[in-house]
Amino acid sequence: MALPHENVTWFATKVELGESGAIKAPETPKRTEQMDRAGLEKYLQENLKNWGDLGMEAMKAFLL
């Protein structure tokens, strides 16, 4: 896998397949409740508070 903007490249040295050989995505929790803009803004503030100035820029972009 290569991340050119981060100047990082990883190479696999070994690949192992499980019994079925299929790749399975992890289960993600289903969110069923509705959220308004005020709720979204509160959620983002709580989760991006440690991001500093970058968090504020990200929150502006998310709330467009």
Q: What is the pLDDT of residue 21?
A: 62
Alpha helices in the chain (DSSP H): 37-48, 53-62
Tell me how far apart the alpha carbons of residues 39 and 14 are, in angstroms, rounded to a whole number: 45
Q: Could you report the per-residue pLDDT of 39-57, keeping only the tens digit for each?
A: 888 888 888 888 888 888 8
pLDDT value, residue 1: 80
- The confidence score (pLDDT) of residue 17 equals 75
The answer to whether residue 4 scores a pLDDT higher than 70 is yes
Residue range 8-31, pLDDT digits in tens: 898 888 887 777 667 777 777 777
Tokens 């969110």 correspond to 31
Number of neighbouring beta carbons within 10 Å of residue 61: 8
- Compute the C-alpha angle 55/58/52, nearest 5°: 15
